[in-house]
Structure 1
Amino acid sequence: MKRFVVAVFGLMLAGSNAAISAQTPGPQLPAAAGEVRGSIIENESKLPLASAAVAVRSKKDSSLVSGAMAGPDGKFVVSGLRPGAYYVRVTKIGFGPRTADFVIAPDAPRQALAPIALGHVAVTLSTQEVVAERATMTVEADRNAYTAKQVAPAATNASEVLDAVPSVQVDHDGKVSLRGNENVAVQINGRVSPMRGAQLGQFLKTLPSGVVDKIEVIPNPSAKYDPEGMAGIINIVLKENVDLGLSGGVNVAGATAGRYNTNGNIGYQSGPFTTFTSYGFNYDERDVLGFNNRERLDAVGAATRYTNQDIIGLQANAGHNVTTTIDYKPNKRDVITNSVILNRRHGADNNTTGYTEINSSNSVNSRYDRIRGSNTTSQMVDYTLAWKRTLEPRKHEVSTEFRVNRTGDIDNTSQFRVPLNSTNSVERELDNTDAVTKTLNAQLDYMKVLKPGRKLETGFKGTERWLDRDYLVTKDLLGNNQWAVSNLSNDFSFSENVSAGYAVLSQAKGKFDLQGGLRAEYASRDFNLAKTNENFPYSYTSLFPSGNISYKKSDVLNMKASYSRRIRRPGTQELNPFPQFLDPQNALIGNPNLSPEYTDAFELGLTKSGDVYTFQLQPFYRHTTDVIRVDINTDGKVDGRDVTTVSFRNLASNNSWGTDATTQLRFGKKFNGLVGLNVFKTVTDGGSETALTTDAIAFSGRLNGNLNLTDALSMSANYRYQAPQKIEKGRFSANQQTFISFRQKVYGEKGSVTLRFVDPFNTIGFRIKTGNETILQNTSRSFGVRGTFLSFNYNFGQTPKIRQPQPQDAPPPSSGFPSGG
């Protein structure tokens, strides 16, 4: 439908400049002075219908003259009409078309039509038609929505779809960031994902791209949403709201570089029951190459000794993911949803680091290898029971849900040192981690339209989270099988409670949409160290106001301004004070006294649409207090070894400002693309007692393009560049990546074969320089991402039919995934 509307706008502009007019005798109006206005309503409820397409045609020959799209209140205005006889034709997916005649006369240039009522019809759309009507990017009041199939047509999993979205980055571990900030809340169907960091990244690699409908980027969410995620929210919307009968699909892909995946889905709808199940398996094996070079300096800056480390390794990850959703509609008002997610992942990380110790005169003191092997296993079970009652469509609704999640993680790591002149290993070490996380959520939401144009949303959410983690370290220093428990061993337990209530009031008035909200939270946590019997309790109360003003100047120009307050709560790894080695030369040491950091986020937006483009500019400013920053100490010592320690501390404040600029291009069915640029400046004030300050400018750019070479063969390309960036005590070098794919349709519209080239120029990796006046460290990694994928996709079953969802005053994120956060 969206591409149809774009076509209408294009013809509207062409038509308004052409001589398409019905001539009448007598005096003429000045050119383009006539106007028609009206409203679109649903036939049964008599409520407004948003986003209906309104085409104005000549009564004489039915030629298209102009057009518009109905706003959120169902109203439309079409201007620039010459005198003559016309009719409007109104269409919307799932509804039958309606027409209404009118006449523009010299003495009556403005006409107001009676409300046009559309009735529901059973609309069947083929897969090809549905895809053709969807735009790559849709701009809404508080978010940008990117159609998965358009922005990443060759993607095989959700992680690859995210990586093709403007302003979103996914690193080699699968960690997701927005505008360069990893502190972003990732949701699935409007609910916070129960996993974070690399764990979430591996989960997304097992989630099939075929079940992803769109990606919503919400940089400044309202008080209705959980305030976690300083950079905002990324919502992965899975496909739903389709009457499937019985249908499904399967996808199989393999690569030249030890990577393959398969996934499938099946859906069934009959009467009050709708079920949807998907399964995905992903295996990813990569070579890792890199180095860590350390240079120690004396008081005058002269080198005293060097340590060169050459790293070669192999990383492998495999995972299974099953999602099942069952909707039951016992009557017209109620919907009961059961949702289950099962996920099992396994990872292996084996590497050998060759050490060369060199003195100040460049003579080699010693050479040896450190060999490290790690195996991880994770299992997750997530269940949600949800209920929604629609007392009056779009006017009065109440919903509640209960969710429970359990995640278990086991990590077994071995490492030892082998001198080059010996075959015996020494300094042998075994690290075993066993962790269980349990989460319980209960939520109640209520919505009521107080009067036309005014809506109240309010609700409550309670979250409880418990984590028990056992970390056992045993060592055999001499390599004679005399194992002893190390002082690095530690056990801890962590509990967290968050109770929140919110209220959001929305008001539509003319061309303005106003929204204000407030969320109040009480949170407490307790971090307990079993070894030292220490407790670190912490509790706090927070208020999170939000506001949004949008102004629709015309059908092609929109402006908005928004504000929200966000929070970043420190994670358990950041709190645990016991050292944990990331590799033989880098140790992570947490800080149990960390406070949460708060961000006040301000954002402006301007969206301009034309025949072949949509341009969006989003300047932003963020002020963060108690900012949590990494404190890198290249001169650290842990367990008798010289290492680089990575810790955390609260700094005074951070200010960042910049802008996102995105342009969507579309040239009929032949080509569509996206161009994105993100530029920002960040200034960190560490306070009077630390040197951890920074003042840096960073930018990134992205190009996405999809070209239909023939009706059955298409090509897509994606390029991203990240400029160098200064950090506290260091600097990241630039990085870039490229993806190219070709897709050939087979079996009509039911299947496709895709050839995908990943990182063909072998540029994905990172390089960082860090240090102080006594030591410098230069680190580089490349991850063996380059490969060629060949995939086959096939869909079977009945042709999907659109099932109209419950009407909403505004398009909120879809539901169905367990809530959390």
Structure 2
Amino acid sequence: MRRSLLLVAGCLLLVVLSPSAFAQGSGPRASLTGAGEIRGKLVDSASGRPVTGGSITIRRDTTFAGGALPKEDGTFRVDGLTPGTYSIRVRSLGFAPFARTGLVITAESPIVEAGTLMLKTVATKLAGEQVVAEREETVVQPDRTSYSTKNMTAAAGGTAIDVLRNIPQVEVDGSNRISLRGNGNVVVQINGRSTPLKGEQLGTFLAQMPAGTVKNVEVASNPSAKDDPEGTAGIVNIVLNQEAELGLSGGVNAGTSTTRSLNASGNIGQQRGRVTGFGSLYLFRDRRNSRGTISRENLVIPVPSFVETALAGEQRPLSLGGNLRGEYRFSEIDAVTFDGYGYSGRYAGSNTSSYTNFSSSRSQIGAFNQQSDYDSRNTGYDIDVAFRRQGKPTAPQLTIEAEYANNANTNEASLSGIVIRPDPSTPLLIPTERNHSKGSYPYVNAKVDYTHPFNPLTKLESGAKYQDRSTSNDFTASYLNTGSGAFEIQPARSRSFDYREHIGGAYALVSRRLGRLQAQGGLRLESARTIFTLPLTGEHFEKQYNSAYPSAVATWNFTEMRALRTSYSRRVSRPNPYQLSPIEYRQDLRNVFRGNPDLGAEYSDALDFSFTETHTWGSLQLNPYIRRSNNAVRNIQYVDASGVSVSTFANLSHNQSFGTDVSVNYRRGPFTGALGGGMSYYTSDASNLSVTAMNLSTRAFSWSLRGNGTWKFSNILDAQGSTFFRPATRTEGGSSIASINMNAGVRYKPWGEKGNISFRVNDPFGFQKFGYRTANGQVVEYSERFFGARAAYLTITKNFGEALRLRPKSDSEGNPAGGPPAP
């Protein structure tokens, strides 16, 4: 299987790098200058006044070639264009979209006057037509798809977790763990930079970030060699609102819900001369209840034969955070930028577990209750400074960037219990326990990226990066001495660990355009060294990874409305400290988690296909894929000799999956909607595992459905609903239970595009639950939990100022189509 994937990737690389390919279609050198330009003026057809808002996009075929914003007199100019035939598209709020094709630039006539472009106001359009937003809801790029949150009423008043649950291919479980196409080895970035947080800490952080701070979400299931290879499932990049406007601008957002949540944020930005700045601040507070049940049948342990558990809890998150961005322009092409965000949060709560033990005849033989209270506090920040040289699309570009981030947390947990009816499996007295842990996660990153267009058809991207990540954690467990009334540290359970990761890498990526074919091939070489130390026991785990990560993309544009893309990449998932740490985290006496210090890295080869077709009524997108992982990292649950359910991580021999995602977007009159889903077949070889006598190898077929729809009653009132469903899906040693998520909301815009009032209901029928079924030869266990998702939200947003983006932080932002600049 892997050989087949590498063969296809090799063919794609040959298309890119073949000398004959470089010779085709280049034409005379003299005709490949970038001196051409398109000029014009935007005018309101009804009043004759200049149109000063909106955006102008220039394309050749389907490739982005340039863009501009209209000046105060409505004029615009897009330069740096080479000879060829172009199309122009104008979008401006309150006006119908405008498009014109057949604009020809030649060496003899490099300047094209588009003339006065008359934009029709909405009032002059036929009944049933609607305003098209300035920002596309979905933008398909060569290596990723971007989803705008601007009109995502189904997440209004919620958090970043609610936003992610409305993004195709992305799933979020009850513990706020994120997966992509069912694979949890996904890298979550914020503003294009990987977060130092992992696992539950990342989920907690995102569950306290207001949805209003998120501008769009980028999903890259098969990233190129330019991106870090970490994360076998791909990358989910959360782009925060960081827009500054001409002059002074800003906005406020406030909301509440039936769970007694408070969600408030504000931002302010200004551009003056060479300086542009933006800042935002947010506050989030919530309080919600959870409940659930666990039913277990013990197949190995004789007493008890059956256990029924009732769960009840309360969660109280509180967080404060914000971000800053500034830019100083030395010239039209040179600038220095500063990006930073920080946060401080507290996640407190309590859980009660009520156990009832039964004999083989289902007679009650014992009962006890256990209470756990926890308080987790987190503070963190991320600072990034960069020099950027970004000129015309045909000019070289350079970025030199340095980043430092740190996160610190302390966790306090108290466990106590009472025995109601003792039996042989239950101690006469449940000890009162206090757990304390403290950790820090500093991160240093330095990189340089250089882009060199050889000509309008060919571009080379290259760069190098070094990063140093470390994690330190100290854990102590104390038990109450009933005689003295003091808590005494238990040395047998106290642990600490130190983790260091040094990674150096370099990449090269070549993009080439051959008529309707766009091809890209690259290679990333990386050396990584990880050191995991347990100071109290003297154990030392050191690993060295020297790896090559190739990637290739080929896109064939049948027409401007139809395209086919094929991509290949190799990626890695190195264990994080949470997965490695042997420190035992106890939910109660019968449910614990402990990591695996012997865990190794997982390597994945993926081949993706994408077919996109656009019509006047909407679009169709089909995404078949094949993915194979060696040494696959999976979460495994088993029962130890004392009857405790243990959750840990282990390396399987390998797993593989193949399937397809499909999405249909439809618009007609006031209605806009999307229907999609996916299906896949998954197999794994877990015969190497020894935690249970049962072979946990799995074969499973899974599918999911996702849909959303928006009805626009008028220019100031719309309604939206969304739903997601995935049936029970088999995993190693069990299965996850069926999952469903539903949202419905309305939005009223009394201030037009400058603000709105939204009302949203999440999980209106109380269907949203998460759980699992374990059948591993030791137990048969079924669990389901409800996390208090059912709630109603009210949110008010008010903005002022006209949007003007800061300098893009990546080439893909300035060139959404990717690849070389258009010829």
What per-residue deviation string (whole Å, max 9, x for no partner) do you get for residues 501-536 of structure 1?
A: 000011011000010000011001111111111111
Tell me if the contact between 1:394 and 1:806 (Cα under 8 Å) persists in the aligned partners.
no
Give the letter aligned to residue 600 of structure 2.
S
Identify if the C-alpha distance between structure 1 residues 392 and 152 changes in structure 2 by more than 3 Å, giving closer, same or farther. same
Distance, in Å, in 1 between the alignment partners of 2:336 and 2:607 is: 38
Residue of 558, 562, 565 corresponding to 2:567 = 562
Say whether residues 1:721 and 2:716 are aligned partners: no
Identify if the C-alpha distance between structure 1 residues 521 and 100 changes in structure 2 by more than 3 Å, giving closer, same or farther. closer
Residue of 759, 763, 766 corresponding to 2:770 = 766
What per-residue deviation string (whole Å, max 9, x for no partner) do you get for residues 677-732 of structure 1?
A: 11111100124565121100111111111111222211000100011100111111
SS at match of 2:202: helix
Say whether residues 1:234 and 2:236 are aligned partners: yes
SS at match of 2:259: coil
Distance, in Å, in 2 between the alignment partners of 1:425 and 1:304 is: 18
Shift, 1:117, TM fit? 3.6
Q: Name the structure 1 match of 2:402.
A: 402
Identify if the C-alpha distance between structure 1 residues 100 and 164 changes in structure 2 by more than 3 Å, giving closer, same or farther. closer
Identify if the C-alpha distance between structure 1 residues 290 and 209 changes in structure 2 by more than 3 Å, giving closer, same or farther. closer
Identify if the C-alpha distance between structure 1 residues 101 and 744 changes in structure 2 by more than 3 Å, giving closer, same or farther. closer
Tell me if the contact between 1:223 and 1:518 (Cα under 8 Å) persists in the aligned partners.
yes
**1:201-212 equivalent positions in 2, closer than 5 A:** 201-212=203-214
Distance, in Å, in 2 between the alignment partners of 1:220 and 1:800 is: 32
Distance, in Å, in 2 between the alignment partners of 1:518 and 1:530 is: 38
Tell me if the contact between 1:203 and 1:321 (Cα under 8 Å) persists in the aligned partners.
no
Residue of 668, 682, 699 corresponding to 1:695 = 699
Residue of 613, 620, 629 corresponding to 1:624 = 629
Tell me if the contact between 1:137 and 1:664 (Cα under 8 Å) persists in the aligned partners.
no
Q: Name the structure 2 match of 1:24.
A: none
Give the letter aligned to residue 245 of structure 1.
G
SS at match of 2:766: coil
Give the letter aligned to residue 390 of structure 1.
Q
What per-residue deviation string (whole Å, max 9, x for no partner) do you get for residues 57-81 of structure 1?
A: xxxxxxxxxx997442759xxxxxx
Distance, in Å, in 2 between the alignment partners of 1:389 and 1:102 is: 30
What per-residue deviation string (whole Å, max 9, x for no partner) do you get for residues 632-680 of structure 1?
A: 112444xxxx311112221111010000001111224x12112111111
**1:221-300 equivalent positions in 2, closer than 5 A:** 221-240=223-242, 243-297=245-299
Distance, in Å, in 2 between the alignment partners of 1:715 and 1:149 is: 14
Identify if the C-alpha distance between structure 1 residues 804 and 580 changes in structure 2 by more than 3 Å, giving closer, same or farther. closer
Q: Name the structure 2 match of 1:451.
A: 455
Identify if the C-alpha distance between structure 1 residues 89 and 296 changes in structure 2 by more than 3 Å, giving closer, same or farther. closer
Q: Name the structure 1 match of 2:679.
A: 679
Say whether residues 1:799 and 2:802 are aligned partners: yes
Say whether residues 1:386 and 2:386 are aligned partners: yes
Shift, 1:187, TM fit? 1.9
Tell me if the contact between 1:98 and 1:118 (Cα under 8 Å) persists in the aligned partners.
no
Q: Which moved more, 1:748-757 or 1:607-616?
A: 748-757
Give the letter aligned to residue 230 of structure 1.
T
Distance, in Å, in 1 between the alignment partners of 2:626 and 2:292 is: 36
**1:312-391 equivalent positions in 2, closer than 5 A:** 312-390=312-390
Tell me if the contact between 2:297 and 2:307 (Cα under 8 Å) persists in the aligned partners.
yes
Q: Which moved more, 1:752-761 or 1:684-693?
A: 684-693
Tell me if the contact between 1:181 and 1:231 (Cα under 8 Å) persists in the aligned partners.
yes
Distance, in Å, in 2 between the alignment partners of 1:542 and 1:802 is: 38
Q: Name the structure 2 match of 1:438.
A: 442
**1:504-583 equivalent positions in 2, closer than 5 A:** 504-583=509-588
Tell me if the contact between 2:153 and 2:746 (Cα under 8 Å) persists in the aligned partners.
no
Q: Give the TM-score normalised by structure 1.
A: 0.82
SS at match of 1:159: helix
Q: Name the structure 2 match of 1:659.
A: 660
Distance, in Å, in 1 between the alignment partners of 2:753 and 2:412 is: 47
Residue of 544, 569, 584 corresponding to 2:589 = 584
Give the letter aligned to residue 164 of structure 1.
N
Tell me if the contact between 2:756 and 2:798 (Cα under 8 Å) persists in the aligned partners.
yes
Q: Name the structure 1 match of 2:55.
A: none
Distance, in Å, in 2 between the alignment partners of 1:685 and 1:522 is: 28
Q: Which moved more, 1:715-724 or 1:139-148?
A: 139-148
Give the letter aligned to residue 526 of structure 1.
I
Q: Name the structure 2 match of 1:145.
A: 146
Say whether residues 1:46 and 2:30 are aligned partners: no
Distance, in Å, in 2 between the alignment partners of 1:402 and 1:737 is: 40
Shift, 1:167, TM fit? 1.1
Residue of 740, 748, 759 corresponding to 1:755 = 759
What per-residue deviation string (whole Å, max 9, x for no partner) do you get for residues 477-515 of structure 1?
A: 757625332211101111111111000011011000010
Identity percentage of aligned residues: 30
Say whether residues 1:745 and 2:749 are aligned partners: yes
Distance, in Å, in 1 between the alignment partners of 2:102 and 2:457 is: 29
What per-residue deviation string (whole Å, max 9, x for no partner) do you get for residues 26-59 of structure 1?
A: xxxxxxxxxxxxxxxxxx9526889x99xxxxxx
Tell me if the contact between 2:231 and 2:571 (Cα under 8 Å) persists in the aligned partners.
yes
Tell me if the contact between 1:426 and 1:479 (Cα under 8 Å) persists in the aligned partners.
no
Tell me if the contact between 1:124 and 1:800 (Cα under 8 Å) persists in the aligned partners.
no
- Count of matched residue pairs: 730
Identify if the C-alpha distance between structure 1 residues 356 and 449 changes in structure 2 by more than 3 Å, giving closer, same or farther. same
Distance, in Å, in 1 between the alignment partners of 2:750 and 2:271 is: 27
In structure 2, the gaps of 5 or more residues are 1-32, 43-57, 67-84, 93-97, 124-129, 423-427, 818-823
Identify if the C-alpha distance between structure 1 residues 208 and 293 changes in structure 2 by more than 3 Å, giving closer, same or farther. closer
Distance, in Å, in 2 between the alignment partners of 1:146 and 1:176 is: 17
**1:494-505 equivalent positions in 2, closer than 5 A:** 494-505=499-510
Q: Which moved more, 1:248-257 or 1:173-182?
A: 173-182
Give the letter aligned to residue 149 of structure 1.
K
Tell me if the contact between 1:588 and 1:646 (Cα under 8 Å) persists in the aligned partners.
yes
Say whether residues 1:417 and 2:417 are aligned partners: yes
Distance, in Å, in 2 between the alignment partners of 1:408 and 1:733 is: 34
SS at match of 1:420: strand
Residue of 174, 177, 181 corresponding to 1:175 = 177
